[in-house]
Amino acid sequence: MPEAITIWTYDWVPEGPRGFVRDLRLRWACEEAGLPYAVRTVAFDDRETNHLGRQPFGQVPMIEDGDIALFESGACLIHLARKSETLMPRDAGAEAEVLQWVLSALNSIEMVSVPWWFLTITGDVDNKLTGWLDTRLRQLENVLAKREWLAASRFTAADLIMADVLRVAKLRAHGDRPATEAYVARVTARPAFAKARADQLAHFAAADETRKGD
Ligand SMILES: N[C@@H](CCC(=O)N[C@@H](CS)C(=O)NCC(=O)O)C(=O)O
């Protein structure tokens, strides 16, 4: 039995982000790969200062794997993917393609989608990021119209992270991108995603009970 990986998340978060806190990416990866893992927590309250030794921005997630401690969900995902052919093929060319699309999800799509989403939910009626977002999403739609998976002609860590970036409700409801919508539905229909999501929701629901008792 390999030594268990530890995934770190918050002890509690408000309703809004539940099901989207980024430890889900790492839970999902471990579920896909059959890697045993434990979940541990840092306090959500005082998060800006209470775990800066583990995550210099006070965010989550982090992982520990033996002597290795990492933050940034993308870096953690790549670390996990290197342990599992399910997530990342051993072939050097296919591996490079997976890495390219993992970074693309984070640095070309999430880089604009998160600020766009934030402006939208904070009531910005003239969201100046919409044009930029629409261009990126249209370009990605063109890619997904021609292929089922981003890399290696099969599900990989690249699809896990791209679908996680794209599955945000406000993004899905914005515009009409049938290939992207089918892609998000296909990737998030995987049992490992359902398990990771249900476990995260249960984790925060249990935290509500603990808070009530405090
Ligand atoms: N680039 C970071 C972003 C991490 C991030 O935004 N985490 C959120 C939870 S999903 C968080 O900790 N938010 C609280 C905060 O920023 O104070 C990563 O991918 O790990």
Atom number, ligand 1, closest to the C-alpha of residue 74: 19
Question: Relative to the CA of 48, which ligand 1 atom is closest?
Answer: 17
Ligand 1 pocket check for 70: Cβ under 6 Å: no
Predicted confidence band of residue 123 (pLDDT cuts 50, 70, 90): confident
- Fold match, 5-86+192-205 / 92-189: no
Distances (CA, A) of 171 to 22, 190, 194, 197: 17, 20, 20, 19
Q: Which of 12, 18, 48, 60 to mutate to test the pocket of ligand 1 (most atoms within 8 A of CB)?
A: 60
The Cα–Cα gap between 125 and 49 comes to: 33
Is 90 exceeded by the pLDDT of residue 71? yes
The residues that bridge with 39 in the sheet, in sequence order, are 7
Please, which pLDDT band fits residue 212 given cuts at 50, 70 and 90? confident
The domain 92-189 is placed in CATH, from the list 1.20.1050.10, 3.10.520.10, 3.40.190.80, 2.40.50.140, at: 1.20.1050.10
Closest residue by Cα to atom 2, ligand 1, is 72
Question: Considering just the CA atoms, what is the radius of gyration of the chain in Å?
Answer: 17
Tokens representing 26 are 């790492």
Q: Determine whether the shortest distance from the Cβ of 73 to ligand 1 is under 6 A.
A: yes
Could you tell me the residue ranges of all domains in the chain?
5-86+192-205, 92-189
What is the mean pLDDT of the segment spanning 191-200?
98
**CATH ID of 5-86+192-205, from 3.40.50.360, 3.40.30.10, 3.40.640.10, 3.40.630.30:** 3.40.30.10
Q: What's the mean per-residue pLDDT of the chain?
A: 96
Note the pLDDT tens digit of each residue in 129-143: 999 999 999 999 999
C-alpha count within 13 angstroms, C-beta hemisphere, residue 73: 27
- Evaluate if residue 213 carries a pLDDT over 80: no
Answer whether 72 contacts ligand 1 (Cβ < 6 A): yes
Write the DSSP assignment of the chain as a string of letters: -PPPEEEEEES---TTTTTTSTHHHHHHHHHHHT--EEEEEE-STTHHHHTTTT-TTS-S-EEEETTEEEESHHHHHHHHHTT-TTTS-SSHHHHHHHHHHHHHIIIIIHHHHHHHHHHHHTT-SS-TTHHHHHHHHHHHHHHHTT-SSSSTTS--HHHHHHHHHHT-HHHHHSS--HHHHHHHHHHHTSHHHHHHHHHHHHHHHHHHHHHHH-
What does the buried/exposed string (b/e) look like for 25-43 if buried means 16 or more CB atoms within 10 Å of the residue's CB?
bbbbbbbbbebebebebbe
pLDDT in tens, 5-50: 999 999 999 999 999 999 999 999 999 999 999 999 999 999 989 9
Question: Which tokens go with 40?
Answer: 């541990």
Q: What is the residue whose two structure tokens read 């919508």?
A: 181
pLDDT of res. 3: 64
